[in-house]
Homo-oligomer: A and B are copies of this chain.
């Protein structure tokens, strides 16, 4: 039967698809917090049941952390793999949410209909766009158009500790012609896009220790070293006045943007005033000698994601704390080596410590940046399908985020990754009041149906 019948089926089934997504969003599968371990497990079970309901052979696969979900359906033509993650970010600060993050709902807003709740866009809503496209396809055609493997992870938001060992162990099952990944956004919330450049990520948590107990600043203030003071000095030294990162060797392996890509990006007419204005800002804050799109897509960063120490409650307490803490992350590009940067960063901090202070470290996930070839004709086929659905020419773009799985597919299973996503800049990914536009969900499902159709037609051609 024709693609049009599948698209019509998707349109008719949208209310039921929305209900299914809301059901999945009700499970608080926060992977980074051990208190939600059971909920991660429940989300995996939910997905196994859902895949099975339209004929996919699916199972939950244990790991030392949260389980993976693997599903498979046989067929002719190319072997496609689809990856998504069912775990979500923590929800604090909870007081900034307008509703319970795990009591999701469809809301009418000034900008249109949205699905509100933690995980709506990242990544449950995006994951379900592909699942719903497959469900509609089987409803119309009795089966899927080609061999498809579903691969869902539950640790993406907590550094994916089990991912690489699991992929190495299941290398054969996870090898395919193309790995579709739905965890990215449209370009500027309106242009469909295939991401071909991703930044890497390195996370560090540091604790500066000083006195062996909290002290009273009346008795010790001035004479005892305060770990918060040391921490602020160390962190303030990470950037110079022009926004460059000062860690020795940090820029090793950072490439200059090729002229062709620079021209292509210039052609996108990125409007940084709107991009920043949407979140109450106006001035690009990165390296003063770089453009805003370059800052996001192709320059490395160093950000303090969390800081805490001393008395943080109501009122005042004149304490000199015995410890101060920070979480720092680096976005990496090109050939920057996360291990070398970790080492250099730690040495820089250790060299700055005054007498009486010490530092302890906790390393969080690290991944190199990725840049993906688009010379396989499947990319042009998919881009044409996206252009068709959205009625705007689809673009090859960079992405400031880090999606290590894309690199793993290339390296471990020799599978080309293709990143297509339908999030918007104002979705509040990782923030309070996360949402996914109903139009993203609807056109996302339809986009996958068109891409499936385009890939098998191209393959069969």
Contact = CB atoms under 8 A, between A and B. Distances in A.
A223 B284 CA distance: 5
Nearest to A304: B228
B309 A307 contact: yes
Interface stretch (A19-27, A112-120, A295-303): A295-303
A165 interface: no
B430 A318 contact: yes
Nearest to A198: B218
A279 B316 contact: no
Given A223-B295, A232-B232, 15 more contacts: A32-B317, A90-B317, A96-B214, A201-B318, A216-B430, A218-B331, A219-B400, A221-B296, A222-B286, A226-B303, A226-B304, A232-B235, A283-B354, A311-B327, A318-B329
Contacts of A431: 213-216, 319
Interface stretch (A67-75, A204-212, A342-350, A370-378): A204-212
28 contacts: A33-B313, A90-B315, A158-B316, A185-B219, A203-B318, A210-B281, A212-B279, A216-B401, A216-B429, A217-B331, A219-B429, A221-B301, A223-B275, A223-B285, A223-B286, A226-B303, A228-B307, A232-B232, A233-B236, A236-B236, A281-B356, A282-B355, A304-B310, A305-B318, A306-B321, A311-B327, A316-B329, A316-B365
Contacts of A308: 307-309, 312
Chain B CB within 10 A, most for which of A292, A309, A315, A356: A315
A281 B222 CA distance: 13
A316 B310 contact: no
Chain B CB within 10 A, most for which of A33, A218, A300, A308: A218
Interface in A163-181: none
A89 interface: yes
Chain B CB within 10 A, most for which of A205, A217, A400: A217
Interface in A134-150: none
A276 interface: yes
B218 A315 contact: no
Contacts of A446: none
Nearest to A243: B222
Contacts of A313: 32-33, 90, 92
A432 interface: yes
Interface of A: 31-34, 89-90, 92-93, 96, 157-159, 185, 199, 201, 203, 205, 210-226, 228-229, 231-233, 235-237, 239, 272, 275-276, 279-287, 292, 295-296, 299-301, 303-322, 324-325, 327, 329, 331, 354-356, 364-365, 399-402, 425, 428-432
B32 A315 contact: yes
Given A279-B215, A309-B306, A431-B213, A222 B301 contact: yes
A285 B399 contact: no
Nearest to A310: B306
A93 to B, nearest CB: 8
Contacts of A203: 316, 318
Closest 4 CB pairs of A and B: A218-B401, A32-B315, A212-B280, A236-B236
A430 to B, nearest CB: 4
A117 to B, nearest CB: 16
A239 B229 CA distance: 9
A10 B287 CA distance: 71
B304 A318 contact: no
A429 B318 CA distance: 11
Contacts of A205: 316
A299 B222 CA distance: 8
A276 B228 contact: no
A307 B311 CA distance: 7
Contacts of A282: 355-356
Contacts of A217: 301, 303, 305, 329, 331, 400
A371 to B, nearest CB: 16
A314 B32 contact: yes
Contacts of A325: 312
Nearest to A331: B221
Contact of A296 (B222, B226, B301): B222
Contact of A354 (B285, B354, B399, B430): B285
